[in-house]
Amino acid sequence: MIDVDGVTCRFDGGATGEAGGVVAVDDVTLSVPDGEFLIVAGANGSGKTTLVRTFNGLVEPDAGTVAVNGAPVSDDLVAARTAVGMVFQDPRDQLVAATVGADVAFGPENLGLAHEEIDRRVDDALAAVNMDGRGDDRIANLSGGERGRVAIAGALAMEPDHLVLDEPFTGLDEPARRSVLDRLRDLRATGTSVIVVTHDLRDVLGLADRVVGLSTGAIVVDDAPRAATETLPGLGVRVPGGFDRLSANTGSGP
Ligand SMILES: Nc1ncnc2c1ncn2[C@@H]1O[C@H](COP(=O)(O)OP(=O)(O)OP(=O)(O)O)[C@@H](O)[C@H]1O
Ligand SMILES: [Mg+2]
């Protein structure tokens, strides 16, 4: 469970850094139960990335608290970062090693796992992003979409309790996107909570249990997917046409 209670995040405004700049997240309260597939949607600059970065302490709230599995994030950052895996919006912020295999193994190695377990996780994670057998490829030679896929594989290999993916589908081709979506569906079924940040719901709405919409840092939509499609376009979020054809888990209304 991730419990967000009254979280506000501010950034200083402008080059002078005067107080009272941007309120990126504005008094957000939100609980994400284990096994929930949650979409966090909203226009550019609505606070999505800042909010999810409080889940593992990458951003420290100016007010309010975040607890993961019952423990305040600020009490134990290592525990929070082990429990909450994160795929960054920009893979350049995430990739650390020279080769694909070394990069995906980096997190599991830091967990001190046995070699066989690390190898299993790396193979498994690379398969999930359609990069089987690419472990020796140099990161420097990968395309943008391939880098995004390695970043996703790195987070999958940690096998976290909660997985946050910040705009994961940008630049992914259709087979990779389908493969990642299949893996997210499997993870959810085994009790992992999956939190996808996006301003384009076409890929993920059919998988989601719930959609939270942000506007200028505040939650203005918190609803089942079908109901959320009514309100989200007003927030600058792209929703799929023909939603009825998608296999939504929940929904209300006609
Ligand atoms: N490090 C920072 N310093 C100053 N302002 C910031 C910083 N990070 C974010 N902001 C501001 O906070 C607000 C929310 O930014 P955030 O990145 O959370 O939005 P987002 O919803 O993820 O947008 P996008 O869809 O473009 O990724 C924006 O106004 C942004 O300019
Ligand atoms: Mg963002």
How far apart are the CA of 205 and the centre of ligand 1, in A?
Answer: 23
- Our answer on whether the CB atom of 42 is closer than 6 Å to any ligand 1 atom is yes
Backbone angles phi, psi at 235, to 5 degrees: -95, 5
* Per-residue confidence (pLDDT) for residue 209, from 0 to 100: 96
Dist CA 238 CA 199 (whole Å): 6
20 or 254, which is more confident: 20
- Our answer on whether the CB atom of 236 is closer than 6 Å to any ligand 1 atom is no
- Our answer on whether the CB atom of 198 is closer than 6 Å to any ligand 1 atom is no
How far apart are the CA of 48 and the centre of ligand 1, in A?
Answer: 8
253 belongs to a structural domain: no
The residue with tokens 């299993």 is 120
Do residues 130 and 173 make contact, with C-beta atoms less than 8 angstroms apart?
no
113 belongs to a structural domain: yes
247 belongs to a structural domain: no
177 belongs to a structural domain: yes
Q: Which of 50, 53, 88, 195 to mutate to test the pocket of ligand 1 (most atoms within 8 A of CB)?
A: 50
Atom from ligand 1 closest to the CA of residue 53: 18
pLDDT at 243 over 70: no
- Our answer on whether the CB atom of 183 is closer than 6 Å to any ligand 1 atom is no
248 belongs to a structural domain: no
246 belongs to a structural domain: no
Q: What is the pLDDT of residues 207-240, one digit of tens each?
A: 999 999 999 999 999 999 989 888 888 888 888 8
- Our answer on whether the CB atom of 129 is closer than 6 Å to any ligand 1 atom is no
67 belongs to a structural domain: yes
Q: What is the pLDDT of residues 65-83, one digit of tens each?
A: 999 999 999 999 999 999 9
Domain residue limits at 189: 2-241
Count of domains forming the chain: 1
* Per-residue confidence (pLDDT) for residue 246, from 0 to 100: 46
- Our answer on whether the CB atom of 44 is closer than 6 Å to any ligand 1 atom is yes
CB count in 10 Å sphere of residue 247: 6
How far apart are the CA of 11 and the centre of ligand 2, in A?
Answer: 15
146 belongs to a structural domain: yes
Give the closest ligand to the alpha carbon of residue 166. 2
CATH at 225: 3.40.50.300
Question: Mean pLDDT in the chain?
Answer: 90
Report, in this order, helix, strand and coil percent for the chain, each rounded to 5.
35, 30, 35
Name the band, by pLDDT with cuts 50, 70 and 90, for residue 247: very low
* Per-residue confidence (pLDDT) for residue 248, from 0 to 100: 46
Atom 4 of ligand 1, nearest CA residue: 11
Rg for the chain (alpha carbons), in Å?
A: 18
* Per-residue confidence (pLDDT) for residue 99, from 0 to 100: 97
